[in-house]
Homo-oligomer: A and B are copies of this chain.
Amino acid sequence: MLSKNRIKLIRSLKSKKGRDKTNCFIVEGLKSIKELLDSNYHIETLYIRNNIDESDVVDFKDQNLFFIDPHEMKEISNLANPTEALALVSKPETTKLPNSEKLMIALDSVQDPGNLGTIIRTCDWFGINQIFLGNGSVDFYNPKVIQATMGSFTRVKPFKVDLDSFIHEKKQEGVKIIAAHLSGASLLQFQFKSVNSHLLLFGNEGNGLSDHLRDLSDFLIKIPGSEQAESLNIAASMSILTWEAFRSTFNR
């Protein structure tokens, strides 16, 4: 049985404060938790509902595993409909910034956890294994972000950066900074070149990119449309721009 203190600790991981204090975060669902086994993440404790089939947990026999009652799972889960498993996972040590890749994604002040989760999933799909997050962005380890990545968080490494100095540094390396911006030129006129490294930059859901970061960018790009809607969802526009970069530099 889970102690009151343990329940309190697990619940505290819903907040960034709790996660920063313990250096842990929560992953729910056997499928996502299984992906942890093939990653560099360390499972601190794994809670499994005691009414599930033993064959489903054979992969986890070497883990620090506890079976709990369904009503206990309900107490610690962040989901309206809790799954069969919940893991406390250690946050990895922060490492130094990686070398530039051909295609990089940076987000400034993205607020919605579902949007960040979807963006991480799209990164993973296109083989982009890093994401650069400006200071105002929602926490990568927010449970709703983790949930929305569908396991992709295990393959896409987050780097918290000061975007101003990060972009300056990348520009000095010759990386092209491409910002999604409603005042930008049409994506139909833009050509990603496979000789270049590109950094795709996206701003806040409501306010877009800050003027300062806009001015630092090499190209402002707008996805053309019918002009009847005010804007696209940020995860939708990130997916389109990333696909466009992938498509136009594929095998070249």
Contact = CB atoms under 8 A, between A and B. Distances in A.
B228 A188 contact: no
Nearest to A238: B236
A104 B224 CA distance: 18
A114 B228 CA distance: 21
Nearest to A205: B150
B150 A231 contact: yes
Interface string A139-153: 000000000101110
Contacts of A122: 232-233, 236
Given A114-B114, A188-B247, A155 B229 contact: yes
Number of copies: 2
A229 B124 contact: yes
Contacts of A233: 118, 121-122, 148, 150, 235, 239
A37 interface: no
A149 to B, nearest CB: 9
A61 to B, nearest CB: 24
Interface in A109-161: 114, 118, 121-122, 124-127, 148, 150-152, 155
A105 to B, nearest CB: 13
Interface residues of A, number: 35
A243 interface: yes
Interface string A199-243: 000000000000000000000000111101111110111011001
B121 A236 contact: yes
A113 to B, nearest CB: 11
Contacts of A228: 124-125, 127, 155
B127 A230 contact: no
Interface of A: 114, 118, 121-122, 124-127, 148, 150-152, 155, 187-188, 223-226, 228-233, 235-237, 239-240, 243-244, 246-247, 250
Given A124-B229, A151-B230, A239-B239, 16 more contacts: A121-B229, A122-B232, A124-B226, A124-B228, A125-B228, A125-B231, A126-B225, A127-B225, A127-B226, A150-B229, A150-B230, A187-B247, A188-B250, A223-B243, A224-B250, A239-B240
